[in-house]
Amino acid sequence: MSDEMSVLRDLIAERDIRRVLVRYCRSMDRIDASLGYTVWHEDGLADYGRFFKGTGRGFIDWVCDLHRTMDAQSHQITNTLISICGPTAVSESYVAVSLLYRSDGAQLLMSGSGRYLDNWSFRNDRWAIDERVYVHDIAHTRRVEPMDVWGLRDGSDRSYATLGALGRA
């Protein structure tokens, strides 16, 4: 394969991996388990330390159940480093999360940040995670004034109508 073709292949792989990472955030915030399942390969593993250890699919089920007990959540991924090696890749992505929930009549906001250390492979015509290790860096919780949340956490959120089929891309 020519050098130009190799570079192009790697650029497309990196773009595809970044899209999967964004899809992960979308699946978390919209509580969209079926979208979340596409982030891992069927045999993919998730290690979130003391929070969760198991399959990627099991993690999606667990976290969606947890998020349904909350008022809102927001995930962002930044500072992503990706290294491609043919049909495999590794990445480190910084993640920031905000979780809005109620406890003892008070509304609380938990803000945290950490990193996803992901091993990827290209199988069945798609990039997906083989193994994720979450490294927890910072978290704090504070009481906040009750507030309305406009975003909906399911397929009725306006973004699904706006993006249509692209919402699954």
Domain of residue 13, CATH code:
3.10.450.50
Query: In this prediction, what percent of the chain has a pLDDT beyond 70?
Result: 93
- Give the Å distances, CA to CA, from 50 to 46, 53, 54, 82: 12, 8, 11, 26
Average pLDDT over residues 103-132: 96
pLDDT mean across residues, the chain = 92
Indicate the pTM of the whole model: 0.89
Beta bridge partners of 57: none
Residue 162 carries which side chain, given as an amino acid letter? Answer: T
Total domains in the chain come to 1
pLDDT at 109 over 90: yes
| Parent domain of 144 | 3-168
pLDDT at 134 over 60: yes
Cα–chain center distance at 128: 12
Pairwise CA distance, residues 135 & 62, whole Å = 18
Q: How confident is the model at residue 35 (pLDDT cuts 50, 70, 90)?
A: very high
pLDDT at 160 over 90: no
Q: How confident is the model at residue 164 (pLDDT cuts 50, 70, 90)?
A: confident
